[in-house]
Amino acid sequence: MLSSFWSFWVQAIVIGSMVGCGLLILYTSKGQRKDETTDQTTGHSYDGIEELDNPLPRWWVFMFWGTIVYGFGYLLVYGLANFDGIGKVTVDGEEVTWTATNQWKAEVQAFDEKVAPLYAEYLATPVAELAKNEAALQTGQRLFKSYCAVCHGSNAMGAQGFPNLTDHDWLYGGEADTIKQTIMYGRQGAMPAWGAALGDEGVKDMAQYVRSLSGLEHDAEAAEKAAPKYQQLCVACHGAEGKGMQLVGAPNLTDEIWLYGGSTKQIETTLRYGRAGKMPAQAEILGEEKVHVLSAYVYSLSQDK
């Protein structure tokens, strides 16, 4: 809502402009007869063509008056600044004053009521089975592009720090019900910083050990030095063989799939400063019905077609 000062000025400028246009029409039409013409010119001349000082066509004048009357009618219905118009919309079963926000709420509720039976039908179908329903997948794809593409990309292949949803590598599990739980309630991932515990040389050695787990080019001597530290600091989450733990969202370090990059420098940064990732919960935003359909779409992305 605008302050009283700005509300007054907005109303003054808008209404003043409309009144001013009306006065201008009256002034320019004053003393002119309907069919009056003249040989006098306005003084404008171009390429031998002169502009006669004739009155505006009557239909044009009426059109101007019509726009002014329409403008006042519009303000009466929809309001201006802090002035509420007489327009009403139905929100949550009650008639409320028209505002852009209330109009949006009314349209969303009307749409939700229209599609509610369809979503109820989808909700009654298990996610894995719903992933075979082409109509449901099209709906899920639209939801994905609206709510998920900003992080995971329109092609769902992710980016640095945002998982690829089209492969078979899942931090918390790729089962249909697990995906739904992830979307419903979100996830909070945390990789602790080990820079202080390992020291600069220890971080570099550990990066070589982590690279060795994926069979990447590495310094074998440095990796061997870091192996005992891995068993001491990292095994609780990533496992003795580095295959990760979906229960806590700890990634598999042996599959050459890297959320934040697998170069030596990127791994060193992860070890030194840690990482913090968050998947926001969508339950309150979308509701279970839409999350169910969205889950089916996400689940379908990693299934072999």
Do 172 and 182 contact (CB within 8 A), yes or no? Answer: yes
32 confidence band (pLDDT: 50, 70, 90): low
Query: Which pLDDT score, from 0 to 100, does residue 249 have?
Result: 94
Q: What's the count of helices (H) and strands (E) in the chain, helices before strands?
A: 12, 6
Please give the pLDDT value at position 34: 57
Query: Stretch 130-158: mean pLDDT, rounded?
Result: 96
Mean pLDDT of the chain: 92
Mean pLDDT value of segment 71-78: 95
Q: How many residues does the chain have?
A: 305
Output the pLDDT for position 171. Answer: 95
Helix (H, G, I), strand (E, B) or coil at 97: strand
Domain range summary for the chain, segments of one domain joined by +: 4-29+52-86, 90-123, 127-301
CA distance 299 to 141: 11
Q: Stretch 15-36: mean pLDDT, rounded? A: 82
Which pair of tokens denotes residue 45?
A: 């001349």
- C-alpha 184 chain-centroid distance: 17
State residue 47's pLDDT score: 82
Contact call for residues 181 and 188 (beta carbons, < 8 A)? no
Q: What is the CATH number of domain 127-301?
A: 1.10.760.10
Mean pLDDT of 97-109: 93
Helix (H) / strand (E) element for 276: namely strand 275-279
CA distance 37 to 206: 95
Q: Is the pLDDT of residue 126 over 90?
A: yes
Per-residue pLDDT at 207 exceeds 70 = yes
State the chain's maximal CA–CA distance in angstroms: 105
**Pick from 49-58, 155-164, 289-298: least confident:** 49-58
pLDDT at position 136? 96
